[in-house]
Each structure stands twice: as C-alpha cells, then as structure tokens.
C-alpha cells in the first residue's frame, strides 16, 4: 500500500495516465453528392464514411465533437451522415457533441441533431427546419431566340419540371407533396432528438423554415447552450484534453487544381452551374 501511494504522487504515475482524447469531425460545406466547387468539398456519406469510422477508432477516445458549418443541402445525405454517426455512437457508447460555427441550418441542423448536445456561438445562425426547391425557367428566353424544345419519352411523367418547358400545375402539386413528406420526416427527427428540450413551442414557429441566432435557438430548445468547442471540452474533460481533428484527404491533383472528389472531366463540366447553386445556399444566410 505504501509503494502504491508513493507511485500515485510521482511524475511517473502522471505520465502513465492517459489524457482524454476528443475526436473532432469537421462537417463544413454544402451537403450534396459529388465534389464541391467554390467553398470546398461537398458533404456526403461517401466522402465522410471513412473519416467518421476513423474518428470513432481513436485511442483513448472520450467523446466525439462535430464542428458544423453548413447551410444544408440534400436531405438524403444529411440523414445518411447523421445516421452513421448515431449508429457508431450507440454501438461504442461514446457521447457526441455538436458545435455550430457560422451556420448550422437546414441539413446542417439535421447533422447537429445526431449529437447528444448541441452548442453554438451567440452569433451563429441556427434552424431553417424546412424544405426548399429552386430552379430556373428558360421558356421565355428560348422563344426570343427561336429555339424549339423537343422531348421524346416513354412514360407520361418522365419530363416533370423540365426547365425548358412551361410549368404544369400537376408537376407543382407533385413537388409540393414530396416537399411535405420530407418536411414531415425532418420535423419528426427534430422532435425525436430534442424531445422535452423544445420548451413546448408551437410547431408553426419551430418548423416555419425560419432561422435564429444562438441565444434565441437556446430559448427555443433547438440547442443546449452557448459555448465553443475548446472551452467546453476543457471544462468537461480537464485542461489536458486533446482535440484530434479528422478531415478528408485530397490527392495531389485535387489540391493543385482545387477539385472535389470527381474526376477531372466531370469536375470541369457544369462547374459554373454547380458553383452558382453552392453559393446560393450560403447566400440565403447572408454569407
């Protein structure tokens, strides 16, 4: 007993004791299949699966921290990424904490919901629990240019929402029905994950698609508090906690040319349109 007591007070004992480690998963960017164009990589399960797995295999792991800065995007990819993180967290019994940076909105908030607790800066933009579809109609321009649209298909509904044809009321009704179904799934996930923390707010307020800054998001029960990752983790796990970042790796050609995960030809074709769409996602929140 005396020998053990002495060892516990020596530098050797302190050296032998492992410091807690928090694996940080960076979820930054628009959520969509394929590679990004203007502001970095798009977020999708294919690109994130290996990173998520690697993070949960970190030695001496005490927790997972999600660094989120996303205006949203694909509801499918949002759900897939969130589900993969939640599955591993439950299997390994590791707590997950989400931290919003500039934006955690729409699909970005969906990602945050997979965490046990969510925190943000007081100036972070949080929310946008809704569904949106946007596009362009070129029928007027085509008419002025004397261009005729020709479509040949087998199946009455193969040309739904064709941007080069006049809008059909039946197409709009179909789109709104799909949006409603996705919105209902989003709302159910929010209620399931946040539970009693929603402060018994009316659905009309929470699920209007509106956004709020950090303090208001706390008041609504959408997040758990105002904090930054480093301060929170040091307070919870001690001054010696180690934050280990896990992020995607790019090949030499991707780094040199600024390309995403696509091949060179496919990344080049349509880059302008994809870039406009990506930028529009951020601009919706003034960024």
Output the CA torsion sign for 211, 216, 221, 223.
Answer: positive
- For the stretch 217-259, pLDDT in tens is 999 999 999 999 999 999 999 999 999 999 765 444 444 444 4
C-beta of residue 199 within 8 angstroms of C-beta of residue 219: yes
Most confident option among 14-23, 55-64, 198-207: 55-64
DSSP string, 200-234: T--HHHHTSS-EEEHHHHHHHTSSSEE--HHHHHH
Distance between CA atoms of residues 187 and 76, nearest Å: 14
Distance between CA atoms of residues 176 and 118, nearest Å: 31
Task: Please determine, for residue 87, whether its predicted confidence score (pLDDT) is greater than 70.
Answer: yes
Which of 92-96, 128-132, 161-165 has the least mean pLDDT?
Answer: 161-165
Distance between CA atoms of residues 57 and 39, nearest Å: 29
Q: Which residues pair with 118 in a beta bridge?
A: 98
Distance between CA atoms of residues 111 and 103, nearest Å: 12
In 3D space, the residue among 58, 95, 65, 25 whose CA is nearest the CA of residue 233 turns out to be 65
Task: Please determine, for residue 145, whether its predicted confidence score (pLDDT) is greater than 60.
Answer: yes
| This prediction's pTM | 0.75
pLDDT of residue 247: 79
Cβ-Cβ contacts under 8 Å for 71 (sequence gap 6 or more): 30, 103, 105, 106, 108, 128, 281, 282, 284, 285, 287
Distance between CA atoms of residues 193 and 186, nearest Å: 11
Q: What domains appear along the chain, each with residue ranges and CATH number? A: 2-128+210-283 (3.90.226.10), 130-193 (no CATH)
Q: What is the average pLDDT score of the chain?
A: 78
- For the stretch 149-169, pLDDT in tens is 666 666 666 565 566 666 677
pLDDT of residue 279: 56
pLDDT of residue 269: 44
Overall average pLDDT of the 96-101 stretch: 97
pLDDT of residue 128: 80
Task: Please determine, for residue 97, whether its predicted confidence score (pLDDT) is greater than 70.
Answer: yes
DSSP string, 169-198: HHHHHHHHHHHHHHHHHHHHHHHHHHGGGG
Tokens 């590679």 identify what position? Answer: 35
């Amino acid at each position: 007993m005396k020998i053990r007591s002495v060892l516990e007070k020596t530098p050797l004992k302190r050296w032998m004791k492992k410091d807690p480690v928090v694996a940080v998963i960076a979820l930054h960017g628009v959520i969509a299949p394929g590679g990004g164009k203007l502001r970095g990589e798009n977020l999708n399960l294919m690109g994130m699966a290996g990173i998520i797995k690697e993070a949960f295999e970190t030695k001496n792991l005490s927790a997972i921290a999600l660094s989120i800065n996303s205006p949203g995007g694909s509801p499918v990819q949002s759900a897939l990424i969130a589900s993969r993180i939640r599955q591993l967290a439950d299997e390994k019994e590791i707590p997950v904490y989400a931290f919003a940076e500039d934006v955690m909105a729409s699909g970005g908030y969906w990602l945050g919901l997979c965490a046990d607790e969510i925190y943000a800066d007081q100036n972070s933009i949080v929310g946008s629990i809704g569904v949106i579809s946007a596009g362009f109609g070129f029928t007027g321009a085509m008419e002025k240019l004397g261009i005729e649209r020709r479509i040949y298909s087998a199946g009455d509904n193969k040309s739904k929402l064709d941007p080069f044809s006049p809008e059909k009321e039946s197409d709009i009704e179909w789109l709104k029905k799909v949006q409603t179904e996705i919105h209902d799934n989003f709302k159910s996930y929010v209620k399931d994950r946040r539970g009693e923390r929603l402060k018994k707010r009316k659905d009309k307020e929470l699920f209007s698609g509106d956004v709020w800054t950090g303090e208001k998001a706390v008041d609504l029960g959408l997040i758990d508090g105002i904090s930054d990752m480093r301060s929170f983790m040091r307070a919870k796990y001690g001054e010696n906690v180690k934050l280990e970042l896990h992020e995607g790796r790019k090949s030499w050609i991707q780094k040199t040319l600024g390309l995403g995960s696509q091949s060179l030809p496919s990344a080049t074709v349509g880059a302008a349109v994809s870039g406009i769409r990506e930028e529009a996602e951020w601009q919706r929140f003034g960024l």
